[in-house]
Amino acid sequence: MRNLYILLFSCLPILACSQGKDNLKDKFSDYFLIGATINQEDYQIIDKDKKVLKIVSENFNSLTPENSMKWMHSHPEYSKFTFSNAQKITDFAKDNNMYLLGHTLVWHNQVPEYISEIADKGKFNLHLKNHIYQLVTRFKGKVNMWDVVNEALNDDGTLRETVFLKMIGDDYIEKAFQFANDSDPNVELAYNDYNLYKPKKRAGAIRIINSLKEKGIRIDAVGVQAHWDLHFPSIQQIEKTIIELAATGVDVMITELDITVIPNPYELAGIAREEFKKFEGDKKWDPYQAGIPDNIQKKLTKRYKEIFELFVKHHDKISRVTFWGTTDKYTWRNDNPIKNRADYPLLFDRKYNKKPAFFELLNIDFSKIK
């Protein structure tokens, strides 16, 4: 399946494959799909920013809607579905021959409030089933893979306490995959999470995959989100993660890659989300408003090179690498959890220019990778 997709989505048009590699999708076309996201929040890229769309169509052959298919946007009220932004992204993917992700069906975040007001368990179960059915059938033949369940695990590998766990029980993940499969037996189905380099959390993900398989419920891929920084996780940790997840027999996808270069306020563990407000404008947490220093740019470039060399080394296990965003201008990192910071996690800068890391990736010498 994986090779077929790589062939289908990367080698069209054939001309692009045979000519110079001045863009990401052609550079990595023998190895994996290269993806980006398109957002709809705040800046409404899909409608307003043609420059970003050009970068996306030139460099990427896979697309993830960063927000538009999430529950709060696609199903904001009990009986109301809104698909206009998701549809625009879907059309863009089709026009540009891209592999399209459905992100995401079941996630505790970005859900409308009415969900927690459904008191009856049977009704909740039916509502979840209908949510999945409506989204999957609406985009049948257009979405190639659904992130069926997103971030169900705590870092210690136990199941996160969510409204889904509370209302449906331990088997809510199985149910979600079963509902998705029943809605479209041909679309690929994935489990997606972050921090899978942490052994306990990874073991939890492996448990989920194996348990679905044992019960005969289809799962095709596991998504490694990859919101990393300049030092963590180490290349060895990433490699172990890829190898162990691939050993379950499903495809490994790198689904949300970005490398933050500014301090991580999550170190302030335990503080409430609203309290991050008091750090806005504090240089300690936002040191590079004036621009990324050369030494940090160099570290970022080196980090991306090492990471991609590792991905190429394990390309037999990895079918897609998706960046979470396109340019530094729009990255979620600028506003999470402290607003209006200047982060530089991607390959295109705030003025849409290609960064040194972009060229470093184009220059990777595949013959040297063992």
How many residues bind to ligand 9MR according to rule CB under 6 A?
10
| Paired strand residues for 253 | 223, 320
Q: In angstroms, what is the minimal distance from the CB of 39 to ligand 9MR?
A: 6
Quickly tell me which residue has 């448990």 as its tokens: 207
Q: Answer yes or no: are the C-beta atoms of 357 and 347 closer than 8 Å.
A: yes
Which residues are catalytic, by number?
151, 256
> Between residues 57 and 150, which has the closer beta carbon with respect to ligand 9MR?
150
- Residue 121 CA to residue 169 CA, distance in Å, equals 10
> Between residues 10 and 150, which has the closer beta carbon with respect to ligand 9MR?
150
Is 59 a binding residue for ligand 9MR by CB under 6 A? The answer is: no
Pairing verdict, β 62-65 and 33-38: parallel
> Between residues 181 and 255, which has the closer beta carbon with respect to ligand 9MR?
255
**CB nearest ligand 9MR: which residue?**
332
- One residue of 26, 184, 256, 349 binding ligand 9MR per CB under 6 A: 256
Q: In angstroms, what is the minimal distance from the CB of 121 to ligand 9MR?
A: 26
Q: In angstroms, what is the minimal distance from the CB of 104 to ligand 9MR?
A: 6
> Between residues 253 and 312, which has the closer beta carbon with respect to ligand 9MR?
253
Q: In angstroms, what is the minimal distance from the CB of 294 to ligand 9MR?
A: 28
Residue list 303-362, contact with ligand 9MR (CB under 6 A): 332
Is 99 a binding residue for ligand 9MR by CB under 6 A? The answer is: no
Query: Dihedral (C-alpha) 263, 267, 270, 274: value to the nearest 10 degrees?
Result: 0
Q: In angstroms, what is the minimal distance from the CB of 62 to ligand 9MR?
A: 16
- One residue of 109, 236, 289, 363 binding ligand 9MR per CB under 6 A: 109
> Between residues 16 and 148, which has the closer beta carbon with respect to ligand 9MR?
148
- One residue of 30, 41, 229, 244 binding ligand 9MR per CB under 6 A: 41
Is 90 a binding residue for ligand 9MR by CB under 6 A? The answer is: no
Is 110 a binding residue for ligand 9MR by CB under 6 A? The answer is: yes
- One residue of 26, 66, 220, 349 binding ligand 9MR per CB under 6 A: 66
Q: In angstroms, what is the minimal distance from the CB of 189 to ligand 9MR?
A: 17
Q: In angstroms, what is the minimal distance from the CB of 151 to ligand 9MR?
A: 6
One-letter-per-residue 3-state SS of the chain: CHHHHHHHHHCCCHHHHHCCCCCHHHHCCCCCEEEEEECCCCCCHHHHCHHHHHHHHHHCCEEEECCCCCHHHHCCECCECCCHHHHHHHHHHHHCCCEEEEEEEECCCCCCHHHHHCCCHHHHHHHHHHHHHHHHHHCCCCCCEEEEEECCECCCCCECCCHHHHHHCCCHHHHHHHHHHHHCCCCEEEEEECCCCCHHHHHHHHHHHHHHHHCCCCCCEEEECCEEECCCCCHHHHHHHHHHHHCCCCEEEEEEEEEECCCCHHHCCCCCHHHHHHHCCCCCCCCCCCCCCHHHHHHHHHHHHHHHHHHHHCCCCEEEEEECCCEHHHCHHHHCCCCCCCCCCCCECCCCCECHHHHHHHCCCHHHCC
- One residue of 125, 144, 181, 225 binding ligand 9MR per CB under 6 A: 225
Is 30 a binding residue for ligand 9MR by CB under 6 A? The answer is: no
> Between residues 41 and 239, which has the closer beta carbon with respect to ligand 9MR?
41
Return residues touching ligand 9MR (CB under 6 A): 39, 41, 66-67, 109-110, 150, 225, 256, 332
